Amino acid sequence: MSKKKDIKSKGKIVKPKSDINFPNTVSKFKVKSVLVITLLIIIALICRLAFLQFVDSSHLQALATSQQTLTETISAKRGNIYDATGEELAISYYTDKIYLNPSSIKHDNEETLAMYKKMIAQGLSDILELNYDEILNKINTSKNRFLVASDVVQEKVDELTSWKNNLESQKFENKSISTGISFEESSSRYYPYKTLASTVIGSVGADNQGLAGIEAYWDELLRGTSGKSVSLKDASQSEIVNSEQTYIAAENGYDITLSIDVNIQGIVEKYLAEAVGEYECESGIAIAMNPSTGKILAMADYPNYDCNDPFTITYMTPEVLETLSSEDKSNEIYKMWKPKAVTDLYEPGSVFKTITSSIALEEGITDTNIENDFNCTGSVYFEGEKRPITCWKVAGHGSQTLTQALENSCNPAFMELGQRIGAKTSYKYYEAFGFFNRTGIQLPGEPKSGIFYSDVNAIKPIELAVMSFGQRFTITPIQMITAVSAIANDGVLLQPQIVDKITNTDTGEVTTFDTKVVRQVLSKETADKVASMMESVVYDGTGGGVKVEGYTIGGKTGTSEPIWGSNNGYIASFVAMSPVENTKIVLLVILNNPSGKLHNGGQIAAPTASKMLSVILPYMGVESGNTDDGNNSNMNINDLY
């Protein structure tokens, strides 16, 4: 029985009395979690690969290309600026920028590497006359390519190239030196006449981009298009020798020839500067124009500045400059750069009486020599006004013709004439003369129009009266001389022109600017009458100070307060034309805020114009009625510079 029991017990499944631990056993949940995470990672990688392959491939290709290629800019040579006689006013010449890449200087031995760097720093400092310690410090601290020097002249470039080649040909410890020095050609700007016509010519910045004047207005043509050289580079960013290279040549800028004549410009600037100093003026403006072509012969501002140093304010002392904020200094610099004959608005004063006379004659409202046409008692009262508007001659001029009124620059006579003409007719001719629009001269900053009363129907009698003699509205000097030039040009208004031609320096193709007729404003008969009256102003009236012996000159004085009657001072001006028949030149002189004893246009602006014309007319070859052409006609033009 016992054996049988033993046999049965062997066939039974015996349950353990306690749990047994299996340390290498993994639960199904963990296995599933690992599989899911792995699958997600694989999906993410596939998505990332797909994104890189199909979405971001072009960006990555561009990035790889940029890392594998060395692109160097080839600067275009900026076009030159010439005057009408071919004199160089702004020229460009090639210089080089010197770069150094410290990562290209390599050696396994630290002491030898330090010696290399010192040799390179010493060579650069000796040849380029730079500070040795500063260069060495940059070599030791910079990881990327940096600029060592700019505007390096060819002589220095040749010397540096020879030294560089000699050093790189040597071997130290059986290894050649890589200096990491590279050259980049650039174009620099120079102005031979420095301050001459500075506000017209303008200047360029460090990037060779025009900042003001012709340089800014014509920047796109002058600048040209840069070229480039593309080659392969190694990991140290150095060019791989004999690798394939792509070269795109630069397109040089166009040359520009101005209508300005340096000799006439020099004469105008000389006497303008003298007048500003003599009469203690704040500033001065002068323009000379050929009325039959619209070409500007000279355009001057004083004070001016050196185009080679455009950020130095010339009309302030160092003590005053120190008191200005950086913003105020910037504003003064921009103000200094402006061609004020084009950009600045002013009240023309009695010079504008030539326009009022033209309107009246063209409309048949009066004629030049009608007896007792006007009567000046010395003052005129307007309803609602506390004070009268007075004539400069307190006792009045009495009975006058239009010619006599212009000779006398009589305000009451022109106030009466303004009432006869009326506001609507006046505005019709103001628009015809171009006062409501830009002249279109090829310089920056010209305002859209002068400032006039906006509603012609609401103009009061007193406003119409003062407008007749050039007050309480503003125009630009270029608008004023353009309108007077129309009178000198048989009544035909021309667009003023300061650029004569442009030349493609690569092809030699020349584009010229022909005379542009705007409109016929006056009949020739009216224009001749006004010119004759202006001649009477010089020989029998207030403009006697402009006389030049041997030449016929017509003119008109002007004296006005600044914009809208502020108390900043007077504006003295004079406009002249010579000869009166077949006029070759119209000249406008404006002297701002004279603080000396004299302030009238006839007292200070007319004599200034006389000095200019006494030299300009003989220079232009205008025939004189006398063998003696005036006190200054024998001046050597070269003495002006």
Q: What is the mean pLDDT of the chain?
A: 87
Peptide bond into 303 cis (omega under 30): yes
151-199 tens-digit pLDDT: 888 888 889 989 888 888 877 766 777 888 888 777 789 999 999 999 9
Q: Domain 71-173+180-258 adopts which CATH fold? A: Penicillin-binding protein 2a (Domain 2) (3.90.1310)
Give the separation between CA 67 and CA 40, rounded to whole angstroms.
34
Pick the CATH number of 262-306+342-640 from 1.10.600.10, 3.40.710.10, 3.40.50.970, 3.40.50.1000: 3.40.710.10
pLDDT < 50 stretches in the chain: 1-9, 235-237, 564-565, 627-634
Whole-number pLDDT of residue 105: 84
How is residue 345 annotated by DSSP? -
Q: Tell me the CA distances in angstroms from 83 to 20, 38, 79, 266, one per residue in order.
A: 108, 79, 13, 12
35-50 tens-digit pLDDT: 888 888 888 888 877 7
Q: Tell me the CA distances in angstroms from 542 to 316, 350, 406, 418, 605, one per residue in order.
A: 35, 11, 9, 21, 12
- Residue pair 508/479 in contact (Cβ under 8 Å)? The answer is no
- Can you point out the beta strands (E) in 448-543? 492-494, 499-503, 510-512, 517-520
What are the residue ranges of CATH 3.90.1310.10 in the chain?
Answer: 71-173+180-258
Bridge-based pairing state of the strands 227-232 and 181-190: unpaired
161-173 in b/e burial notation, b at 16+ Cβ within 10 A?
A: eebbeebeeeeee
Give the separation between CA 126 and CA 199, rounded to whole angstroms.
39
Q: Which amino acid is at 237?
A: Q
Whole-number pLDDT of residue 1: 47
State the pTM of this model: 0.80
- Tokens of residue 491, six digits: 């009544």
What are the residue ranges of CATH 3.40.710.10 in the chain?
Answer: 262-306+342-640
285-330 tens-digit pLDDT: 999 999 999 999 999 999 999 999 999 998 888 888 888 898 999 9
Give the separation between CA 303 and CA 241, rounded to whole angstroms.
55
